[in-house]
Amino acid sequence: MEIRSKDYIKLDGVSSKTIGLYVDTPPMPPMAQRRYTSWETEQLGQSQIIDHDYYEDVTITITCYVFDYGINVNKIYAWINNSKRLETSVYSQWFYKIKKINGVTPGYDKKGKYKIDISFVCEPYRYSTDNQLVTITESDTPFEVGGSANTRPIYNVYGDGDIKIIVNNDIDNALMLYDVDTVVTVDCERMVVHTHGVPMKSSGKLPFLDAGTNDIEWTGNVKMIEIIKNERWI
């Protein structure tokens, strides 16, 4: 097996190459498994399945090789420790959100090359590294969201007074924003509504987006809405 030094990974934006590590072909992104529970029923003589409507975390193991045997091991471990974002050079269009480091195992491969296996437990989704901003200036405007799963976007709503936000005609779960003064941020990822970090009064449901075509409309005095889509794939 030929080691190809052009491949690398990034942790929190820092490349493995900067600390003397390279990767031999990062693995293909795993597909997350949907969570089910099944059991047998004697009365029906067949199994029953419950769909829990969420996906399980994925484990990704990366094998890194060492350029220089005199490399500072503490520097490597500091690079790995507490990292939150994983990218690879081969699949640079996506990144994973790291939940924990499952293990760091140094050793040698079959050819005697020094290697380090790093195991990451990540959220089940692959996120787009090209997180484009969409600007909406008219109510009832359709727009596209890539990916294969619903997303938890961030909205920056510019306007004033009381504002109602309706996404994909879901009137029953419309989001109400109260006493808006210039701009309010609706962060569906962190599940907070705030203005420059100060919590704002709101009611209703924070609006997620579907993969595909979406529509947003509002009532109240809105100048524009910026949307960071946070596209993601299973």
Per-residue pLDDT tens digits for 68-81: 777 788 899 999 99
Mean of the per-residue pLDDT values of the chain = 90
> Residues for the chain: how many in total?
234
Nearest to 150 by CA among 167, 133, 136: 167
Mean pLDDT to the nearest integer, 90-114: 91
The DSSP string of 42-95 is TTTTEEEEEEEEEE--EEEEEEEEES-TT--HHHHHHHHTT--EEEESTTTTEE
**CB neighbour burial string for 62-86, b if at least 16 within 10 angstroms, e if fewer:** bbbbbeeeeeeeeebeebbeebebb
| Ranges 35-39, 68-72, 95-99: which has the least confidence | 35-39
Report CA torsion sign: 191, 195, 197, 200: negative
Q: Give me the helices (H) in 85-161, please.
A: none
| Cβ–Cβ under 8 Å, residues 123 and 97 | yes
Per-residue pLDDT tens digits for 156-167: 999 999 999 999
* Longest CA pairwise span in the chain (Å): 68
Model pTM?
Answer: 0.83
The confidence band for 41, taking pLDDT boundaries of 50, 70 and 90, is low
**CB neighbour burial string for 172-193, b if at least 16 within 10 angstroms, e if fewer:** eebbebeebeeebbbbbeeeeb
Residue 44 has a pLDDT of 60
Domains along the chain?
Answer: 9-128 (2.40.30.200), 133-233 (2.60.120.860)
Mean pLDDT to the nearest integer, 188-204: 95
User: Which of 43-52, 70-79, 163-172 has the highest average model confidence (pLDDT)?
Assistant: 163-172
